[in-house]
Chain A
């Protein structure tokens, strides 16, 4: 069965650079969530989209933005990167009619 696809899997950026993370949800899933997980931490909710509209907002820094496109894939744009942005970034998708969220493999971002 198709799963949530994230790209890239690994990314190394320098401070003050920008990064774009992509997420392709499970087919027919209309909701996408973004989470940030620091080393040894629990996943922190950043933002979510339902039917291409922002549905919920968590602790997403102003330097980050995200959107969901017409094909339901989503991109997380991160600017002015800081060392503290180094983390695993997970995307999850669900169908509004389904109560379960499925997670992608994550993108490991390292800021140097």
Chain B
């Protein structure tokens, strides 16, 4: 059974600070996704990482993938309140087609 583990599950951080969210998965895969979800809303695609060593950046967020370690990170730089949301990583295993989600990291950025 594929396991996708995120940590931390809850994160409260001050504006201007940096932090990293980690996503570990238990099966071979070279397709990892990060989504953002605001309360009661849909899942917004942030990053698609398709190869070992992939790094993508958008604004204050940067995501990376290490397929050998089965680890992805989402780094937040100089957090702002607008980044408050739940962030999910999701993995498509080599043997399947569907996204398997982690439990999500609920991020709260405070002044």
A contact residues vs B (CB 8 Å cutoff): 31, 33, 35, 41-45, 48, 50, 55-56, 58, 88, 90, 92, 99-106, 108
Q: Evaluate contact between A42 and B101: CB separation under 8 angstroms.
A: yes
Contacts of B41 in A (CB 8 A): 105-106
Neighbouring A residues of B97 by C-beta, 8 Å: 31, 48, 50, 55-56
Q: Which residue of A lies closest to B43 (CB)?
A: A103
- Assess the A48–B45 pair: CB atoms within 8 A: no
CB contacts (< 8 Å) of B102 on chain A: these are 42
- 9 A-B pairs (CB sep. < 8 Å): A42-B103, A43-B43, A45-B100, A55-B97, A56-B96, A101-B99, A103-B35, A103-B43, A104-B42
Contact A99 B48 (CB under 8 A): yes
* Of B33, B42, B96, the contact of A106 (CB 8 Å cutoff): B42
Q: Is the CB of B45 within 8 A of A43?
A: no
Contact at A43–B42, with CB atoms within 8 Å?
no
Q: Which of B33, B50, B99 contacts A45 (CB 8 A)?
A: B99
A19 to B48, CA, bound (A): 33
B: contact size bracket? 20 to 34
Whole-angstrom distance between the Cβ of B104 and the nearest chain A Cβ: 5
- At the interface, yes or no: B31 with Cβ under 8 Å from chain A? yes
In the complex, chain A residues whose CB is within 8 Å of the CB of B103: 41-42
Determine whether the beta carbon of A43 is less than 8 Å from that of B88.
yes
CA distance A100 to B50 in the complex (A): 10
- Closest-CB distance, B34 to chain A (whole angstroms): 12
Using A42-B103, A90-B43, A103-B42 as known contacts, say yes or no to A33 and B48 having CB atoms under 8 A apart: no
A102–B43 alpha-carbon span in the complex (Å): 8
Nearest CB on A from B81, distance (A): 22
User: Smallest distance from the beta carbon of B64 to chain A beta carbons, Å?
Assistant: 17
Complex-state Cα separation, A110 to B57, whole angstroms: 38
Known contacts A42-B88, A42-B103, then 14 further A-B pairs from the complex at CB < 8 Å, ordered by chain A residue: A33-B98, A33-B99, A41-B103, A42-B102, A55-B97, A56-B96, A58-B98, A90-B42, A99-B31, A103-B42, A103-B44, A104-B42, A105-B42, A106-B42
